[in-house]
Amino acid sequence: MSDHDAPAVRTLDYTDGVITMIDQTALPQDEVWLEIDNVADLVAAIKRLSVRGAPAIGVAGAYGIAMAARLHDPLTDTDAFETAVHDIREARPTAVNLAYTVDRVAPIARTDPAEAEAEAHRIRDEELAASVAMGELGADLVLELTGADSIRAMTICNTGGLATVERGTALAVIQTLNERSALAEAIPLETRPLLQGGRLTTWELQRMGAPFRLIVDSAGPFLLSRGAADVVLIGADRIAANGDTANKIGSFSLALAAKHAGVPFIVVAPESTIDMSTASGDDIEIEDRGPAEVASVRSTAIAPEGTDAINPAFDVTPAELITAIVTDTRIIRLAAGETLTSEANG
């Protein structure tokens, strides 16, 4: 079998109290599968980004609550269960999906622990269906907005099956364009410091047989100014009520450059990433991951020992720079004056 017909990877699964996940820190060199059967290991896996991407950590969190309810009966071992809920929910702060899924499964586990597993599976299935829907809606929109029939799509971080459960968000749009023979090339940014674009998006694009060329992060804005891409497609970790969007650091600079170049800038995310209780991007907590990731690449130091660094994992793109948000159920055309609460969008 060539890379081009490699089957889809299902990032995450759960059977009988054990979460199985591909270890994204080992890719692309090694395909390692982790079997996680306790809360401390799950929290550590989320924190070190073995499982990452907003929808994927949401699903992992849902399974984590189901697993915790098996280990600590919420009705009799309440303190241990509630500590587990807290630790999972707080493992990463920016992606709203984690809090959303924990808050969905935990109340069910508190009254009927067995039903928690069914709810977690429902969340996984919803993410799968959402990825397919976003791919179709997004591909239609890209073709409509660009008027082109062969698309050059720039993207950042990893928003594919690894970041969801299968197919993804922004990368699902690219995959759908490729399946429709409408993808000229994908242009992923490498995405320092942890190289999700260079390590993971390339791995997925290669497996799906899509044409692509990798660029360094700082080349993105310049290449947009030279007309190298027809569209920028990004995922999201949290979309505030006014449309401001938190996503991987570097998204904001791409949005500024896309505006300057007149290139559509499209956010692709499931409805579960929209957080109407957060008014604007100013209210979104941005995870700071500390200096070590900046001062090194894949554990090799690139700066003198003791170098301090600033390491925001995400930035916020203001709504005014976003052409449209594509979810699994609707398209919100921000550039045309629609809002997240407009009646018209659908």
Catalytic machinery residues: 237
Using the structure block, give the residue that is written with the tokens 């995405």.
191
Residue 185: name the closest of 211, 148, 156 by CA: 211
Among positions 103-162, residues that touch ligand MRU (CB under 6 A) are 157, 159
Minimum distance between the CB of residue 185 and ligand MRU, rounded to whole angstroms? 20
Torsion of CA 117, 168, 166, 315, to 10 degrees: -60
Torsion of CA 131, 39, 158, 266, to 10 degrees: 50
Determine the Cα–Cα distance for residues 23 and 46; give it in Å rounded to an integer: 10
Task: Pick the stretch among 47-55, 81-89, 134-142, 174-182 that binds ligand MRU (CB under 6 A).
Answer: 47-55
Nearer to ligand MRU by C-beta: 95 or 99?
Answer: 95
Interface residue with ligand MRU among 11, 196, 242, 278 (CB under 6 A) is 196
Tokens for 310?
């600033």
Nearer to ligand MRU by C-beta: 77 or 287?
Answer: 287
Minimum distance between the CB of residue 92 and ligand MRU, rounded to whole angstroms? 7
Among positions 153-182, residues that touch ligand MRU (CB under 6 A) are 157, 159, 163-164, 168-169
Task: Pick the stretch among 4-12, 140-148, 204-212, 232-240 that binds ligand MRU (CB under 6 A).
Answer: 232-240
- Taking CB under 6 A as the rule, does residue 236 contact ligand MRU? yes
- Taking CB under 6 A as the rule, does residue 95 contact ligand MRU? yes
Q: Which residues here bind ligand MRU, judged by CB under 6 A?
A: 49, 52-55, 95, 157, 159, 163-164, 168-169, 196, 235-237, 247-248, 313
